[in-house]
Structure 1
Amino acid sequence: MRQLRSTVGAVLVFLLAFLLVSTLTAGCRRSGSGDEADLVDSIRSGGRERTYVLHVPPGYDEGAGNSLVLAFHGHGGQGENQERLSGMEAVSDANGFLIAYPDGIDRGWNDGRGINEGIDDVGFARDLVEKLSAEYGVDPKRVYATGISNGGFMSFRLACDAPDVFAAVAPVAALMSVPLVESNRSTTPVSLLLMNGTGDPLVPWEGGQIGGALGDRGEGISTQASIEYWVALDGCATTPQAARLPDMDPGDGTTVTQYVYPGGRDSTEVVLCEVTGGGHTWPGGYQYMRESIIGRTSRDLEASEYIWEFFRDHPRD
């Protein structure tokens, strides 16, 4: 009974925290940043009106063959939540790339695990890239996807189902789901960066049931198996180049080791950032829920900057 009460209590805390975060961010779609405005817009896709937030950096040059990043929120969130969590617009401003934060139907993505079945989110991503590319002069070789949790699983799906669109993807706190592994028929190489925490209570490092105390959210293969899947598909070297990153905050309870698998087909590469002690979090982002629910946030790595540098260095060949 005590265990049941503990589980129920954790779920209630999660729901209350989510409502608090949603309330705090509901009015945070900013009217402007720097020289340009953040645009809240919509597009017709799959018979539905789909919405997104677009951040245009100051001084954006539409004729420069620019990069586009789609950043997908986790389950229960919206694009504005991912914008706030990642702080990626600051990286956009410093480096001049477009970033779009799409909104999922019912706050989720059809990432292949049976969530939001019947919603064509791959089609939505394709349509959004086509629209923004036409309007903002995006280089088709420099289109990328990232996201956390459900959004990270969605990034994996786009690498499988839209490799002609996305040159590289960077899932955070996510795995290759068992259904996606079983259904994927693509052999097109895509560069991949994965950031996972060994202490993630919702998406376990070793794979298995996803969701923890929040309920069954499907099954994933392990972090290492997810990496090996893409190393094999891309044709990368099977022995990684390993390096321990500087422990920038010894008090955060985490360390980061980087594993680089170079030499893939069409100049692709696979990278794993193992966040030892890290939780279901965005490294360098804010602690959006209590550690007892989602685990620790690492301060040894600024995920948004690292992800952009990976994207910048891995356009389509």
Structure 2
Amino acid sequence: MYKLFFSMILLAVFSAGTIAQTGSIKVGSTTRTFIVYTPSGLPEQPPLVIAMHGLGGSGSQHRSSSGFDKIADREKFVVVYPDGVFKMNGSNGWDISSNSDVDFISALIDTLKLKHTIDPNRVYATGFSMGGMMSYKLACSLADKIAAIGPSSGYPLGNMITSCKPSRPVPICHAHGTLDSIVPYTTLESWIAKFVKSNGCTGDPVITNPTAKYKKQYWGPCEKGSEIILYHFDGMKHGYVDKSKYDFSASDTFWAFFKRHPLNEGTAAVKVSASTLQKTIPLSASCSNGVISLHSEMDIQNVSVSDVCGRILYAEHYTGLFTRNVSIPIDRNSNGVYFVKVTGASGSSVAKILVQ
């Protein structure tokens, strides 16, 4: 059982109805704290992003460094920054060896559902370092509530991989540096391989290089529309990926991934039709061997692919990309008409292509 205690300390007011508040719930005999940020203009049932700090950090610190408030303002979702209390070497972190923090996050979700009418099908977990480890723990133990995860520079160390048995295919978008000495990149592959198998992904990953600074591996679509994406950054040490060094925002990328993966199905609906095709940005698109290739002579910041039913099959956020070819993998057996939408600083365009 747990009880809710909102301290109602006002942390920030950026516009009418946009607030961040501290709150607490009692889980068992322990009082757990968090910061919840609620933008103005939220829909009736907004999504929820649970953003978890690394070892020695705090919800407040991760709020400042991750930039999720700004994304929540733009995309209209609630974001919560919980505080870990598990002690490791004298620092606060997350308990990935038992279910104490799983119980906390589960209770936190239930609490925020009641207070903010959260959409139960759109609850997502992300975290840096040990917060990333906790994201995997939730995928293993709370897949009935967590729709998708976005770990950065973190996965569970030790033998937890043998006991991880997710109840459903869990979409994963992971970012990691190849020179990470704190949470080594070299053993990340075993966790990715586990979820590739449990998600029912088949075949080799599609490997692309969005920029010279990082590589992308993509598995999917897998069972129930799930996907696995691994971004690895050559030469990067332990850290949270930001735009300043790698032309890549982990937080923006995770949200773009999350919003096409609700819990109740593998895709999210949008409305796109041939009659509303836009041509602000010059765009060419083609498909060969299951890979849609795009080319534009102008800045592309966001790319999405949807089918004729309006379901988003692929979405990606880019930063500072000019004159690029962007390869988008799709199921080779999924013949039909697709709509490719790109947006950038100069406008947007939608191209219709036939896959056969």
| TM-score interval, normalised by the smaller of the two chains | 0.7 to 0.9
Residues 1:30 and 2:11 are matched in the alignment? yes
Check whether the contact 1:40–1:53 (CA below 8 A) recurs between aligned residues: yes
Which residue identity does 2:25 align to in structure 1?
I
Residues 1:111 and 2:96 are matched in the alignment? yes
Check whether the contact 1:231–1:238 (CA below 8 A) recurs between aligned residues: no
1:302 to 249, 255, 268: 249
Residues 1:181 and 2:161 are matched in the alignment? yes
Q: Structure 1: which 5+ runs fail to align? A: 1-28, 207-221, 248-254, 286-296
Q: Which of structures 1 and 2 has the larger relative contact order (alpha carbons within 8 angstroms, sep 6+)?
A: 1
Q: Structure 2: which 5+ runs fail to align? A: 1-9, 266-356
Q: Return the structure number with greater helix share.
A: 1
Task: Please list the CA deviations of residues 243-275 of structure 1 after superposition, one character each: whole Å capped at 9, or x if unmatched.
Answer: 21135xxxxxxx111111012221111110011
Rounded to whole Å, the distance in 2 between the matches of 1:193 and 1:228 is 13
Which residue identity does 2:256 align to in structure 1?
E
Alignment: residue pair count: 249
Which residue identity does 1:165 align to in structure 2?
K
Check whether the contact 1:198–1:274 (CA below 8 A) recurs between aligned residues: yes
Check whether the contact 2:171–2:227 (CA below 8 A) recurs between aligned residues: yes
SS of aligned partner of 1:178: coil
> Based on CA coordinates, which of the two structures has the bigger radius of gyration?
2
Rounded to whole Å, the distance in 1 between the matches of 2:245 and 2:194 is 26
Q: Return the structure number with greater strand share.
A: 2
Give 1:1-12 correspondences, 5 Å limit: none
1:54 to 22, 26, 36: 36
Deviation at 1:185, TM superposition (A): 3.0
Q: 1:229 to 1:176 in 2, by over 3 A?
A: farther
TM-score w.r.t. structure 1 length? 0.75
> Which residue matches 2:23?
41
Give 1:82-231 correspondences, 5 Å limit: 82-105=62-85, 106=87, 107-112=92-97, 120-206=100-186, 222-231=187-196
Check whether the contact 2:96–2:156 (CA below 8 A) recurs between aligned residues: no
Check whether the contact 2:144–2:167 (CA below 8 A) recurs between aligned residues: no
Deviation at 1:187, TM superposition (A): 4.2
Please give the root-mean-square deviation of Cα atoms over the aligned residues, in Å: 1.7
> Which residue matches 1:246?
211
Task: Please list the CA deviations of residues 267-314 of structure 1 after superposition, one character each: whole Å capped at 9, or x if unmatched.
Answer: 1111100111112111117xxxxxxxxxxx843211110010000011
TM-score w.r.t. structure 2 length? 0.67
Check whether the contact 1:284–1:299 (CA below 8 A) recurs between aligned residues: yes
Q: Which runs of structure 1 show a deviation greater than 6 angstroms over 4 or more consecutive aligned residues?
A: none
Deviation at 1:38, TM superposition (A): 0.5
1:272 to 196, 217, 230: 230
